[in-house]
Structure 1
Amino acid sequence: MIRTAILLAALLASGTARAEIRVLDGDTIVVEHEHIRLVGFNAPETAHASCEAERRLGALAKARLTDLLLAACGPLDRAGASCMDLAREPRKDRYGRSLARLSLGGMDVAAILIGDRLAEPYVCPAGRCPRRLDWCRGKPGEAPP
């Protein structure tokens, strides 16, 4: 991660910053090989969905995040790193992903996806996270059918 930050800083200083951006799901992106879990919201799963309804919602959340990034950054395979604002947290999550809040054009992506009903608010004060919404039933913490 430090190497990536140094490389991006050097590219930004030279005015030629280009960073490939990939959208893995509605709340996870990859910027130049660095996996980043977007914070402030939780989107439905795609690859590990508990039911078909969650998988469909997850695909919609991923498509919406992709559309937002495309509108702000242009082609994601050669997007400029300056097209987005990543407010990084100092720690990583339990999977080793960087944590950051994403803004595009001054708009908070969490607020957009929550407003579109493609994500739920999800904030973990002091590392204590609430139970997540069961996208198959619509109620936090319930087991899927």
Structure 2
Amino acid sequence: MGESAILYVQATQAYLQANDGRLDGVDNNATTFWDKKDRYLQFTAGVRANLGKAKDADGDGVSDKKDKCPDTPTGVKVDVNGCPVDTDGDGVADYLDKCPDVKGLAALQGCPDADNDGVADADDRCPNTPAGVRVDASGCPLDADGDKVPDYLDKCPN
């Protein structure tokens, strides 16, 4: 919607499309379909106004009536429903997603974790850790005694 007002006046001339006396009450038995005696004028006048824009509290370009995510932060790219865009469809909006082009986990800010050890693949120094094995911050199996044998394989872990 924009701010505008339009005033219009229109005059139209037309013929009644039948041989009858609906306008003047006289059936003149004309021989043509368009009876010149049943001609009439029609006048139309009106005003059309658009006064202002629809309310958009979060400023994302989607009116509050249609906005399904009314508190989108300023400057965030949104879809037609006013919700932040999620390019990879992982449930993490692109503006919060550290890996916006690859499906990932919400717990890892949208980044994938192929071995499910809780460390994002990009930061995982041991990307093939077996399921259920406890890992350190770098994604490698724990080695409590530092003997370079992971605890889950170490017969003497201490």
TM over 0.5: no
TM-score class, shorter-chain normalisation, is under 0.3
Where is the helix percentage greater, Structure 1 or Structure 2?
1
Q: TM-score scaled by structure 2?
A: 0.20
Q: TM-score scaled by structure 1?
A: 0.21
Greater relative contact order (Cα 8 A, min sep 6): structure 1 or 2? Answer: 1
